[in-house]
Amino acid sequence: MSTAAAAMRKGPWTDEEDEQLVRFVRLFGERRWDFLAKVSGLRRTGKSCRLRWVNYLHPGLRRGRITADEERRIVELHAQWGSRWSRIARSLPGRTDNEIKNFWRTRTRKKALEERRAAAGAGAAATATEEPASSSSSVTTSECRPGSSPTSGAATTASSSSGSSSSLREGRCGDDDGDCDDDAELEEASTPTAAPATKHEQQQPQPQEYYDGCSTMDQLWNEIAAADAAAMSYVVDACWSGAGHYYYSAAAEPPPASPPWEYCGSDFSLWRIDDQEYYKKMLDSS
Residues near DNA (CB under 7 A) are 9-13, 30-35, 44, 46-48, 50-52, 55-56, 65, 83-87, 97-99, 101-103, 105-107, 109-110, 113, 146-148, 150-151, 153-154, 156, 159-163, 165-166, 169, 179
User: With respect to DNA, which residue has the nearer C-beta, 127 or 159?
Assistant: 159
CB of 181 vs DNA, minimal distance in Å: 9
CB of 153 vs DNA, minimal distance in Å: 3
Paired strand residues for 246: 240
User: With respect to DNA, which residue has the nearer C-beta, 234 or 264?
Assistant: 264
User: With respect to DNA, which residue has the nearer C-beta, 180 or 235?
Assistant: 180
Cβ-Cβ contacts under 8 Å for 126 (sequence gap 6 or more): none
User: With respect to DNA, which residue has the nearer C-beta, 120 or 229?
Assistant: 120
Cα dihedral angle (110, 116, 122, 123), rounded to 10 degrees? -160
What is the Rg, in whole angstroms, of the alpha carbon atoms belonging to the chain? Answer: 23
User: With respect to DNA, which residue has the nearer C-beta, 162 or 249?
Assistant: 162
CB of 230 vs DNA, minimal distance in Å: 27
User: With respect to DNA, which residue has the nearer C-beta, 146 or 205?
Assistant: 146
- DSSP category for residue 56: I
CB of 37 vs DNA, minimal distance in Å: 8
Phi-psi region for residue 138, left (φ > 0), alpha (ψ -120 to 50) or beta?
A: alpha
CB of 270 vs DNA, minimal distance in Å: 12
Asked if 248 contacts 237 with a C-beta cutoff of 8 angstroms, the reply is yes
CB of 249 vs DNA, minimal distance in Å: 23
Which helix H or strand E contains 100, and what residues bound it? Answer: helix 97-127
Among 30, 28, 19, 96, which Cα is nearest to 64's?
Answer: 96
Count, in order, helices (H) and strands (E) of the chain: 10, 2
Q: How far apart, in whole angstroms, are the C-alpha atoms of residue 203 and residue 159? A: 35
